Amino acid sequence: MAVLHKAITPADIAILASMPKLLEHFIRRWLTAPQVEVGERGTRVLGDLLEIDSQSPPLRIPREAITVNGVPWTN
């Protein structure tokens, strides 16, 4: 898990994606380990990898009022 957690760029994630057996073993170890700390670490590693690989745009605060279900919201 420590080695997988060193992937910090989308290019690193792409390299990991080309190794499905490695990822399969990681997930199997993560889900079958009886130690709580292994589960916590696996969750953190997988979450960080997914966050790095995410292409979602940064959140922004709208400058004008928006309407949701007929209710105006302002910041």
**Both tokens assigned to 27:** 């997930």
Which DSSP letter does residue 71 get?
E
**Both tokens assigned to 31:** 């889900």
**Both tokens assigned to 52:** 């790095």
Q: Is the pTM of this model over 0.85?
A: no
10-55 pLDDT tens trace: 899 899 989 999 999 999 989 999 999 999 999 999 999 988 888 7
DSSP track, 13-36? HHHHHT-HHHHHHHHHHHHH---H
